[in-house]
Structure 1
């Protein structure tokens, strides 16, 4: 195998990848194109990583052209999907869609490994068989893990060396490791070098694979006993206790995933080969035959949650996983019914077909066809429009934290619709879309002026009551930065006689979606000082403006006066329920 590897090609490809990734990294650091256009950035990064990675894992001297003829279109397809994921990052200043990016990376890896094992069989002119697909998938995964382990150890050694030279006050090496033009190509070259090493000793991957499969062979009967025991007790306990955990469907799906994975690891050979003796074989046999029950239970649990609370991104994934696992489980059941002990003939066909199905779905979830954020947005808005949830109880924050661009667009439309009839909820939406990580907001925060602060504030009963010195003191007490930009706050100045001394007292209120703070401002003869005020807001009101506009302001006497013993003052909290 080592003699068949085109080593110069591998090292040149790794170096080119390092150079391209360095340029892309610099564009992000300096906010230059393509970093300023996520569509291009995601597309280029996806192609650069996926094409080179898959090539390094499979290329040989004799198959370069044929391999590239398959990998190039697949990598271009992935880059197009990456461009779509990049498009879901707009508007950049207001949308934070890191969760979608993470999902894209994970699903693209699964799709890449699925595609690679089919491509490897095609270029070898072999009939596609499950046993060979299984062997290739384990080889590729272990090779990938070994290469990354090598890179991490290699980088750790470089860091250790730099630290040792730093101790001698030689900082050249530590400074060199900070240079992107050095560390990025170095790591890509290290990965390429690792592929040459480990692909030259492929028997190591096979031995590791055999060891893991042996362990799983002993664990499968244990898992089957647990599975059958759970099903046996379920008729007596019912499903209510399972749903009370809040993760009943997830637990069932995980048990099903592990069982299917273990079964496919152990039963991968010819139909007449049995890895267990007859008793254990029958135990596992019945465990496999009953797997569809878990699909029914999980589907019922997911349906209950969707019926109660609508579709969310998490439930979309649960539906997809439940569907895929059901296809495996019912496919195996059909094989058992038709072939009995020779069910592995059907298992092999099911696995080959389902491998392609999983590959297709891993691509579709990153496309407009199965955009889970869009589906969730439509479902939640439909529940609001149909009256299943009130405008006050509606979960606005889910849209900003989980639904990215789709949630943003829906909230802008909703805000326009409810601006006049539900101003408090409209203000919640307006405050939500402030991205503290965006440099533009940091720059705006640093430039916030007292004029902007006054314009953004509300004064009651009128602006003229408040001195410029007081407003200046309040403004200087606030700290606008990228974590607390002006737009995320509502400010209120209230002038009212609180202690009945016929003199106005001044209260400043800082209101956000997450908290409300208030301070009483007093002048001690030389300067303004503030005293913190406790707040009791049982209705969780988040827009005082409507109440202030209606002059709904009054002085409320405490239910209990304070108790003073000497210089010790005891205050009864107003929010205690007696």
Structure 2
């Protein structure tokens, strides 16, 4: 194997990757192109990471050309999908869609490992068989983990050495480790070196895989017994208790996923393989035959949730997982019914076909064809249009925090529709999307902007300039909490029946409503915290203030004073 590895090519590829990643990192730090354009940056970063990494895991002296024929188009496709994911970050000033990027990374890893094992089979020109695909998948995965483990240990040793030299007041090595032109190429070269070393060890990955398979072989009967116990008690306990946990569907899917994984780890050699005695073998076969029941339970639970609350990104993922696991489970059941003990012949065909379906699914979820954020947005808006939820009950925050660009576009359309009829909801939407871009966002809010953004009751002239300025100075605006994410109210009213006006300042956001009492102590304005009781979750006091719906309410209980300690009764109930 050592002589079959094109070491020079692998090292050269690592050097080029290190240079490219260094340039991308510098553009990210300087906020210049391509980092300033998420479409180009995500696309380029995807290709620069995926192509060298997959090549290092699979390249051999005799397959370079064949590998490139298959691998290059796949990595270009990943890069194209990365460009689409980057487009889902626009407009940059209003959207934080990092969760979508994280999802893209995870699904791309799954798709890459799936694609790589099929590509390796095509290159070898062997008949595609699940046992070989299984062997390749374990080999590639373990090799990937071993290489990164080596990189982490190597980097840890470098930092340990730098710390030791720091103790001697020699800071050269610490400074060097902070330079991107040093640490990025160092990591890529370390990964390439590790891949050469571990791929030269013929039986390293196979030995680890065998050890894990032995452990899973002992765990599979335990998992099967747990599955039987769950199904046996379910008719008596009922599905309602399962749904009351709030994660019943996910638990069922996890049990099904683990069972399928363990089954495919143990049963993946010859069609007549018997890794257990007859009793355990029959027990496990029965467990496999019952797996479709979990698909039906999960599908029913998802149907209930979607019917009640509509689609969300999490439910879209759950539906996809339920579908994929159901295909495996029903495929195995058909094999058991037709072939009985020879059902592994059907398992082989099911796994090969489903592997391709999983690969395609992981690619489609990063494309416009299966954009879960768009699907969830359309579903929630449809529920609103159908009257299943009112504008007051609608979860606006979900669109801003979970649906990225698709949520932003949907909220802009909704805002235009209700602009004249529901000003409170319009304000809620406007507060959600504030300019958080460090280049274009307001660097500092001026006093005049603060006054123009505030509501004064009964009128602004009642409040002194010194008080308004003191309140303004107490606020802390930033790019993450800009002026337009708040609503401000100045209220002048006699709260203690002393025939003198008291001044209350209220700041309101979509998440909270705070109030402070301001009074002059003879030398300066002082603020005092006021508790807020807002049972109806009012998020737009402006309409009530403009309607003069303001009054003073006497407390039900006076305060209790013991010496200088004061005790106040609130409306909160202690459980």
Deviation at residue 66 of structure 1 after TM alignment = 0.9
Match of 1:555 in 2: 552
Match of 2:281 in 1: 281
Counterpart secondary structure, 2:271: coil
Query: How is 1:391-430 mapped onto 2 (pairs within 5 angstroms)?
Result: 391-430=391-430
Deviation at residue 566 of structure 1 after TM alignment = 5.6
Deviation at residue 574 of structure 1 after TM alignment = 5.4
- Encode CA deviations 1:1-46: one digit per residue, 9 max, x unaligned: 1101010100010010011011111111110001111000000000
Counterpart secondary structure, 1:532: strand
Counterpart secondary structure, 2:203: helix
Query: How is 1:314-325 mapped onto 2 (pairs within 5 angstroms)?
Result: 314-325=314-325
Query: How is 1:473-492 mapped onto 2 (pairs within 5 angstroms)?
Result: 473-492=470-489
Equivalent residues of 2:444, 2:477 under 8 A apart: no
Query: How is 1:531-546 mapped onto 2 (pairs within 5 angstroms)?
Result: 531-546=528-543
CA distance in 2, matches of 1:112, 1:184: 22
Equivalent residues of 1:456, 1:490 under 8 A apart: yes
Tell me whether 413-422 or 114-123 shows the greater mean CA deviation: 413-422
Aligned pair in 2 of structure 1 residues 12, 339: CA closer, same or farther (>3 Å)? same
Match of 1:152 in 2: 152
Deviation at residue 238 of structure 1 after TM alignment = 1.8
Deviation at residue 413 of structure 1 after TM alignment = 1.2
CA distance in 1, matches of 2:562, 2:147: 73
CA distance in 2, matches of 1:574, 1:17: 63
CA distance in 2, matches of 1:304, 1:209: 40
Deviation at residue 501 of structure 1 after TM alignment = 2.9
TM-score, length-scaled by structure 2: 0.97
Match of 2:179 in 1: 179
Deviation at residue 175 of structure 1 after TM alignment = 0.3
- Encode CA deviations 1:424-466: one digit per residue, 9 max, x unaligned: 2211111112365x4247x62x421111111111111112222
CA distance in 2, matches of 1:39, 1:346: 43
Residue 435 (structure 2) pairs with residue 439 (structure 1): no
- Encode CA deviations 1:195-234: one digit per residue, 9 max, x unaligned: 0000000310000011111111111111111112221222
Aligned pair in 2 of structure 1 residues 343, 553: CA closer, same or farther (>3 Å)? same
CA distance in 2, matches of 1:517, 1:274: 68
CA distance in 2, matches of 1:568, 1:19: 67
Counterpart secondary structure, 1:85: helix
After superposing on structure 2, the runs of 4+ consecutive aligned residues of structure 1 that deviate more than 6 Å are none
Counterpart secondary structure, 2:455: strand
Match of 1:502 in 2: 499
Equivalent residues of 1:328, 1:351 under 8 A apart: yes
Equivalent residues of 1:93, 1:440 under 8 A apart: no
Deviation at residue 497 of structure 1 after TM alignment = 2.2
CA distance in 1, matches of 2:565, 2:337: 83
CA distance in 2, matches of 1:315, 1:14: 40
Deviation at residue 573 of structure 1 after TM alignment = 2.7
Deviation at residue 553 of structure 1 after TM alignment = 1.3
Query: How is 1:99-248 mapped onto 2 (pairs within 5 angstroms)?
Result: 99-248=99-248
Tell me whether 513-522 or 126-135 shows the greater mean CA deviation: 513-522
CA distance in 2, matches of 1:390, 1:77: 42
Match of 1:368 in 2: 368
Deviation at residue 504 of structure 1 after TM alignment = 2.1
Deviation at residue 356 of structure 1 after TM alignment = 0.5
CA distance in 2, matches of 1:151, 1:28: 23
Counterpart secondary structure, 2:62: coil
Equivalent residues of 1:289, 1:333 under 8 A apart: yes
Match of 1:471 in 2: 468
CA distance in 1, matches of 2:24, 2:303: 44
CA distance in 2, matches of 1:246, 1:302: 12
CA distance in 2, matches of 1:120, 1:572: 73
| Structure 2 spans left out of the alignment, 5+ residues | none
Aligned pair in 2 of structure 1 residues 112, 568: CA closer, same or farther (>3 Å)? closer
Match of 2:570 in 1: 573
Deviation at residue 570 of structure 1 after TM alignment = 4.1
Residue 251 (structure 2) pairs with residue 254 (structure 1): no
Counterpart secondary structure, 1:109: helix
- Encode CA deviations 1:83-128: one digit per residue, 9 max, x unaligned: 0000000111111111111110010000000000000011111111
Aligned pair in 2 of structure 1 residues 32, 567: CA closer, same or farther (>3 Å)? closer
* C-alpha RMSD of the superposition: 1.5
